[in-house]
Amino acid sequence: MLNLYRQIISNNLNNTIFEELPEEWLERISPDVKTELVHGFYNAGILTINLSDFNRNNFYQHTIRPQFQHYCESLYLQLAPILQRCLRRMFLGFNENLAEYKVVLFMEGDDEDQLEPVKFNIDIF
């Protein structure tokens, strides 16, 4: 049952992101990334995104990797409001007694690059 909820949450969250993320980011997503940009351990409030998924026309290798911190912050500013709205609707709607939900978003690079993941805290009220 838990896997079913995880899949429903993931589908809802990723569909919302693909609908609402600005075009400048969407057009940089690698062609092989079709349905899941954000991965999560939703019960623990942990989300991860791999910036190497934004590698259409080698964007990750040539642009993101040299300025990794900058692009993590830039994407975070675009994603945070989307994540807040979407997760607020899902989690707070499931449980009326849940007053807040905290999420940690990790942005990672390609494993070979050995970049330190960047961590962001997002409060869902």
The mean predicted confidence, pLDDT, of the chain is 90
Is the pTM of the predicted complex or chain greater than 0.75?
Answer: yes
First CA to last CA distance, the chain: 26
Residue ranges covered by each domain of the chain: 2-124
Cα distance between residue 87 and residue 1, in whole Å: 19
CB atoms closer than 10 angstroms to residue 89: 13
**Choice among 9-23, 43-57, 91-105 with the minimum mean pLDDT:** 91-105
Express each pLDDT in 28-48 by its tens digit. Answer: 999 999 889 999 888 788 999
Express each pLDDT in 82-115 by its tens digit. Answer: 999 998 888 766 667 777 788 999 999 999 999 9
Task: Say if residue 41 is exposed, middle or buried (CB neighbours under 10 Å; 0-12, 13-18, 19+).
Answer: exposed
Confidence class for position 3, pLDDT limits 50, 70, 90: low
